[in-house]
Amino acid sequence: MIEQFNRDGTLRHLITLANLNRTQLNALLDHAETYLVGHAHYAPREPRLLGRTVALLFFEPSTRTRVSFHLAATRLSADVVTLDGDASSRVKGETLLDTVRTLEAMHTDVFVVRTAEAGIPALLAGHIGRGKALINAGEAHCEHPTQGLLDVLTIRQHKPDIRNLCVAIVGDIRHSRVARSAAQALGILDVGELRLVGPEPLLPDTNEFDGAVRYAELEPGLRDADVIMALRIQRERMRKEAGIPSNDAYFKRFGLTAERLKAARGDVIVMHPGPINREVEISSAVADGPHSVIGRQVTNGVAVRMAVLARIAEGLSGTP
């Protein structure tokens, strides 16, 4: 297991939320709040990463997370280089580890890594030198720590008393890094009740998501929920693993509609990590309606990534 904190308590890497304590997690969320001014704007640019180089290594396609990290790093005044998945070094078959070693030799300070293979972020973090940092930007079905942070920040902003909340995650929980990181963060904050709602074959193994309650039907899963997090589904997986033949069939069973939302609390908030499949996971009326906080999640995403980068900046070696 990679040690995520330096001896002096500063953040070194962010690979997983699993071993953060409540104080550490809340400190990151509090720091993120300082970048948000009145919900409508970000605070002015900070020079914390001036002269530092942040490399975005996205070995899996992503727009929103890549752009979110890009803007977060830029707003902290970093230099940013981007390597995409099908980018040139991979054409020549260079290994991931050698790519990271090369970028490190060019004095990259922070590596932001997204990968479809489990274990890669920790593996890479274990090989980079002292005074350098790595942030997991999404790893297979396992981890997506900055997504977990932005999700609990969004929940905290709307419903600060997390110990008394009922949160329902809806969709393909089994293959979802978003669900895992959210569940970790909610667990650290002692969430009142966590529900996992989805087709039976797409619920996780019972040794995972400790303490969560499982529902194979939507309506009972939503009853009196304070927070509903819809997950993005993959059509092929839905068909092959859950036997749900079409997007319409999924929407009929698990799609969030205004009608179904009535089972939840009157002030329920509805979340989605995006990009949303309209009329599949969620109706447009709900996605764009008064309960939706999907836009806030995106805004919080940049702030959370700025906070993680800012914290990590404290432990970087050398002068920038």
Q: Which is nearer to a copy of itself, 75 or 195 (CB)?
A: 75
Backbone angles phi, psi at 273, to 5 degrees: -75, -15
Q: Which is nearer to a copy of itself, 81 or 258 (CB)?
A: 81
Q: Which is nearer to a copy of itself, 19 or 157 (CB)?
A: 157
Q: Which is nearer to a copy of itself, 59 or 215 (CB)?
A: 59
Binding map of a copy of itself across residues 5-24, x = CB under 8 A, - = no contact:
--------------------
Interface residue with a copy of itself among 92, 207, 210, 266 (CB under 8 A) is: 92
Distances (CA, A) of 179 to 70, 124, 222: 24, 24, 16
Structure tokens at 74: 């830029």
Asked if 318 interacts with a copy of itself (CB under 8 A), we say: yes
Q: Residue 46 Cβ, how far from a copy of itself at the closest point, in Å? A: 11
Structure tokens at 226: 């304070």
Backbone angles phi, psi at 112, to 5 degrees: -110, 115
Binding map of a copy of itself across residues 104-143, x = CB under 8 A, - = no contact:
xxxx------------------------------------
For residues 250 and 290, the answer to whether their CB atoms sit within 8 Å is: no
Query: 26 CB contacts (<8 Å, ≥6 apart)?
Result: 189
Cα dihedral 67, 70, 72, 75 sign: negative
Which 248-287 residues touch a copy of itself, going by CB under 8 A?
274-278
The DSSP element (H or E) to which 68 belongs, if any, is helix 64-75
Mark 213-223 as b/e (b = at least 16 C-beta within 10 Å). Answer: eebbebeebbe
The DSSP element (H or E) to which 272 belongs, if any, is none
Between CA 25 and CA 27 the distance in angstroms is 5
Q: Which is nearer to a copy of itself, 55 or 191 (CB)?
A: 55
Q: Which is nearer to a copy of itself, 243 or 295 (CB)?
A: 295
Between CA 17 and CA 188 the distance in angstroms is 9
Q: Residue 213 Cβ, how far from a copy of itself at the closest point, in Å? A: 30
Could you tell me which stretch among 24-32, 74-82, 170-178, 208-216 binds a copy of itself (CB under 8 A)? 74-82
Amino acid at 93: G
Asked if 301 interacts with a copy of itself (CB under 8 A), we say: yes
Q: Residue 133 Cβ, how far from a copy of itself at the closest point, in Å? A: 16
For residues 254 and 219, the answer to whether their CB atoms sit within 8 Å is: no
Asked if 158 interacts with a copy of itself (CB under 8 A), we say: no
Asked if 246 interacts with a copy of itself (CB under 8 A), we say: no
| Binding region for a copy of itself (CB under 8 A) | 40-42, 44-45, 51, 53, 58, 61-64, 66-68, 70-71, 74-75, 79, 81, 83, 87-89, 91-95, 98-99, 101-107, 274-278, 295-299, 301-302, 317-320
